[in-house]
Amino acid sequence: MSTYLLWGVAATRRDVRIAAMPTAPYHCPGAAAVTDGRSPWPAVTAGNDGAPTVEDLPMAKDIAIDLGTANTLVYVRGKGIVFNEPTVIALNTRSHEALAVGHQAWQMIGRTPGYIVAMRPLRQGAITDFEITERLIRLILQRAGVSRLSRSRVLICVPSAITSVERRAVREAASRAGASSTYLIEQPMAAAIGAGLAIEEPVGNMVVDVGGGTSESAVVCLGGVVASKAIRSGGFDLDAAVQGYIRREFGLAVGERTAEEIKITIGSAAPYEDEAKAEVRGRELMTGMPKTVVLSPADIRDALEDHVRQIVEAAVTCLGEAPPELAQDIIVQGIHLVGGGSLLRGLANRLAGETGVPVHVVDTPLECVVLGAGRCIEAFDTVRSLFLEDD
């Protein structure tokens, strides 16, 4: 019997233990055009084989950024997605130097000496540390080949739940990082565009975006949001719920990354076939010694239930606020589920059961928002009415 244990988690089924593998760095293999055949939106590319260098890109660029709590994606006009990495930055607190960003910084979480801090400058879709966010955006723009000399227009996707003060903070951070002008678009609208929905037609479409820090439901029609419901609960809250459950029920302390691996490996919103158990190693709170416990999918479902229920109830509320004519369209069109949280097992079935409406997980849930923003910058002057006005 072979045993593999990575990130403190090993899934077990019968006599075989299956390791919970960490997510590999994202690279879009080739350029896949996204078209729906119904709308006038220009086709955009889902990425390329490698991030372009500064020499490969023109001096002036239009750039779309999905500045998420969990991951940040950058789309360059005419190039596609050139950056897709965790929203994490590692800093040396002695020299105040930025040591790493993205995947390299994410791998440092929970594994650094005291003078090195790997942190997420955004929580629940909002900036919690302005200066660190500015440095993060500047480094990301540099990776995309942007400097202050580029005079680039930047379109940033933001949650609809953030306040006007938080929106101004995003604009200011991007401006100080090198953007000549900054525009904002709500994530549900960008997600609907990225999913290929005909938002400019008099037909109701509903999108549920489950992100790392927020979950948003929106009904879109004729280029505008007719009804919406946003809550500050997402993937990180699910991870924290797993951590709290293990601490409370088993007296075991596990890290953020381990909790995420447990959620990915055996977490679910509803029972599923071929359920496997997970063997988890952590630090026992009473003795401080290493300890191993075995968790079942039912355990993790109990841990996630409160947050999953909030996400589902928000979608039900949004659907209930939609005008009757649009509700009829949604019954036919279905609900489109996007965001990293949509990959939680059973969430689509749970949402379909609660609403009585078909639920479709889009083909590229993680990239859907930035692809929608990419369509906007490809047709920048014709879609400016979709952007949020200056506060």
Mark whether 227 and 281 lie in a shared domain: no
In a domain, 246, yes or no: yes
Based on the structure, what is the number of domains in the chain?
3
Structure confidence at residue 317 (pLDDT): 94
Same domain, 111 and 16: no
What is the spatial distance between Cα 138 and Cα 117, in angstroms, rounded to a whole number?
18
- Looking at the structure, tell me whether residues 108 and 177 fall in a common domain: yes
3-state helix, strand, coil in the chain (%, to 5): 35, 30, 35
Residue 373's H or E segment, with its range, is: helix 368-378
Rounded-to-integer distance, Cα 159 and Cα 211, Å: 9
Residue with tokens 């993205």: 102
Does 2 map to a domain? no
Q: What's the rounded Cα separation, in Å, for the pair 106 and 95?
A: 20
pLDDT tens for each residue of 157-198 = 988 877 888 888 888 888 888 788 889 999 999 999 999 888
Low pLDDT (below 50) residues in the chain: 1-40, 44-58
Residues 36 and 195 sit within 8 Å (Cβ to Cβ): no
Total-model pTM:
0.78
Domain residues for the domain of 338 are 198-233+305-361
The residue type of 307 is: H
Instruction: Please state, in angstroms and rounded to a whole number, the distance separating the CA atoms of residues 91 and 187.
Output: 29
Q: Mark whether 261 and 155 lie in a shared domain.
A: no
35, 201 in Cβ contact below 8 A? no
**Domain-located, residue 67:** yes
| DSSP bridge partners of 85 | 72
CATH number at residue 67: 3.30.420.40
Q: Say if residue 123 is in the same domain as residue 266.
A: no
Bridge partners of 156, per DSSP, are 65, 184
**What is the C-alpha to C-alpha distance for residues 196 and 308, in angstroms, rounded to an integer?**
26
Same domain for 55 and 73, yes or no, is yes
Are 49 and 125 in a shared domain?
Answer: yes
Indicate if 242 and 337 belong to the same structural domain: no
Run of H or E residues at 101? strand 97-101
Residue 374 within any structural domain of the chain: yes
Identify whether 149 is part of a domain: yes
Cα 222-223-228 angle, rounded to 5 deg = 95
CA-angle at 138, arms to 136 and 142, nearest 5°: 115
86 and 177 co-located in one domain:
yes
Establish if 207 belongs to a structural domain: yes
Looking at the fold, whether 43 and 94 belong to one and the same domain comes out as yes
Q: Is residue 1 part of a domain?
A: no
Residue 178, domain member (yes or no): yes
Shared-domain flag, residues 256 and 326:
no
Exposure string over 245-281, b if 16+ CB within 10 A, otherwise e: bbeeebebebbebbbbbbbbbbbbbeeeeeebbbbbb
In whole angstroms, give the CA distance from residue 57 to residue 256.
37
Same domain, 133 and 157: yes
CATH of the domain at 298: 3.90.640.10
pLDDT at position 45 is 46
Which of these, 329, 124, 308, lies nearest to 226 by C-alpha position? 329
Given 257, 275, 303, which residue is the final one in a domain?
303
Cβ pair 210, 235 in contact under 8 A: yes
Query: Could you tell me which residues are beta bridge partners of residue 229?
Result: 217
